[in-house]
């Protein structure tokens, strides 16, 4: 199996490493060109190669898109048609600019991506965990301290493939619905990133809490808790705020 990756930064690079560890081939890509990915590919080893986004899309049995949302219109539509596309994207207006369809809740960011990627089958995943916790909380299938991640998508078969990918990369999957429901794991919800930090010490100021969260290795979040947080989610304003 080959995993194509469009975007090979913090999330894409981590997923590429896990995929190689699980015996997959990976094709990584970014905006600056394959020649800028030599160090990443060397670290990943023989199963990895660098390519353009179009080549990564064409060669992937599944393709992870892990770029800033502002760049989604540059994704290679033709090469992604027919593919299962794993969407890690989140909307951060300070970075991505304001997107009226998202601000009005007319669309989720995943629906916006799906609308652009005609013919692809988009599954939202890996968007609600920070890259360090994604690294530290991965566990083999069946481990008692395994964590779960939510997935959302409109195509049942694509979600099955995405769940199998999550399983291979160290996580259980919890299906939280179709792409219209993907807001349940987006910024400004209780399922977004914080629960993977575990229980915070009491009495911390907001700055201390942030520092604690960024430094903690995290704590396992089992599937039943992901399900509960998704079911109880309350839709906040679209778009997260970046912290310094
Ligand atoms: N970091 C996290 O903890 C985290 C957690 C969950 C979800 N997310 C979301 O996942 C996405 C990626 O986040 P990240 O932190 O991994 O970002 P990142 O470290 O900044 O990496 C972004 C990657 O996307 C590439 N890229 C940018 N524009 C592109 C384009 N037009 N075509 C192809 N590749 C392009 C960049 O390549 P160049 O360097 O060559 O431009 C880089 O490899 C974002 O939407 C983010 O909100 C992040």
What are the tens digits of pLDDT across the range 9-48?
999 999 999 999 999 999 999 999 999 999 999 999 999 9
Q: Which atom of ligand 1 is least distant from the CA of 95?
A: 47
Q: What would the mean pLDDT of 108-124 be, rounded to a whole number?
A: 98
Distance CA 40, CA 139 (A): 23
Whole-angstrom distance between the N-terminal and C-terminal Cα of the chain? Answer: 38
State the CATH architecture for 68-231: 3-Layer(aba) Sandwich (3.40)
Token digits of residue 142? 């069946």
The percentage of the chain sitting over the pLDDT mark of 70, rounded to a whole number, equals 100
Q: What pLDDT was estimated at residue 213?
A: 95
* Torsion angle, alpha carbons of 110, 113, 119, 124, to 10: -30
Q: What would the mean pLDDT of 120-132 be, rounded to a whole number?
A: 98
* pLDDT > 80? residue 202: yes
* pLDDT > 70? residue 244: no
Q: What would the mean pLDDT of 1-16 be, rounded to a whole number?
A: 98
Q: What pLDDT was estimated at residue 165?
A: 98
Q: Which of 4, 9, 53 to mutate to test the pocket of ligand 1 (most atoms within 8 A of CB)?
A: 9
Q: For the chain, give the mean pLDDT.
A: 97
Q: What pLDDT was estimated at residue 242?
A: 77
Q: What would the mean pLDDT of 206-217 be, rounded to a whole number?
A: 94
Whose CA is closest to atom 3 on ligand 1?
A: 130
Whose CA is closest to atom 37 on ligand 1?
A: 30
Distance CA 71, CA 56 (A): 16
Q: Which atom of ligand 1 is least distant from the CA of 240?
A: 47
* pLDDT > 80? residue 121: yes
The percentage of the chain sitting over the pLDDT mark of 90, rounded to a whole number, equals 98
* pLDDT > 70? residue 59: yes
DSSP β-ladder status, 2-6 and 121-124: unpaired
Sheet containing 48-50: order of strands: 48-50, 25-29, 2-6, 62-65, 84-87, 121-124, 148-153, 172-175
DSSP symbols for 190-202: TTSSGGGG-PPPT
3-state secondary structure 227-239: HHHHHCCCCCCCC
Whose CA is closest to atom 25 on ligand 1?
A: 7
- Residue whose entry in the numeric block shows the structure tokens 């080549």: 55
Q: Taking the alpha carbons of 93, 96, 99, 104 in that order, is the dihedral positive or negative?
A: negative
Band of residue 3 on the pLDDT scale cut at 50, 70, 90? very high
* pLDDT > 70? residue 181: yes
Specify the range with the lowest mean pLDDT, choosing from 3-12, 74-83, 167-176, 199-208: 199-208
* pLDDT > 80? residue 218: yes
How far is the CA of 115 from the CAs of 62, 85, 108, 154, 184, in angstroms?
18, 13, 11, 12, 19
Q: Of 161, 2, 151, nearest to 87 (Cα)?
A: 151
27, β-bridge pairs: 4, 49
Q: Which atom of ligand 1 is least distant from the CA of 14?
A: 16
Contact 60, 27 (CB under 8 A): yes
């Amino acid at each position: 199996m080959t995993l194509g990756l469009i975007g090979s930064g913090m999330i894409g690079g981590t997923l590429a490493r896990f995929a190689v560890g699980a015996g997959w081939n990976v094709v990584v890509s970014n905006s600056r060109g394959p020649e800028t990915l030599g160090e990443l590919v060397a670290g990943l080893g023989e199963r990895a190669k660098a390519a353009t986004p179009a080549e990564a899309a064409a060669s992937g049995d599944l393709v992870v898109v892990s770029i800033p949302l502002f760049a989604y219109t540059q994704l290679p539509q033709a090469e992604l048609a027919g593919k299962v596309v794993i969407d890690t994207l989140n909307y951060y207006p300070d970075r991505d600019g304001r997107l009226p369809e998202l601000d009005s809740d007319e669309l989720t960011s995943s629906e916006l991506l799906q609308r652009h990627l005609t013919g692809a089958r988009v599954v939202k995943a890996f968007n609600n965990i920070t890259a360090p916790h994604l690294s530290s909380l991965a566990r083999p299938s069946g481990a008692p301290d395994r964590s779960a991640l939510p997935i959302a998508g409109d195509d049942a078969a694509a979600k099955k493939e995405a769940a199998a990918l999550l399983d291979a990369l160290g996580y259980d999957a919890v299906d939280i619905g179709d792409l219209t429901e993907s807001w349940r794991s987006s910024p400004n919800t209780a399922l977004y990133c914080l629960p993977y930090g575990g229980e915070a010490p009491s009495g911390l100021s907001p700055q201390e809490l942030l520092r604690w969260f960024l430094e903690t290795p995290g704590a396992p979040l089992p599937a039943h808790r992901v399900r509960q947080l998704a079911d109880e989610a309350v839709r906040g304003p679209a778009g997260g705020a970046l912290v310094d």
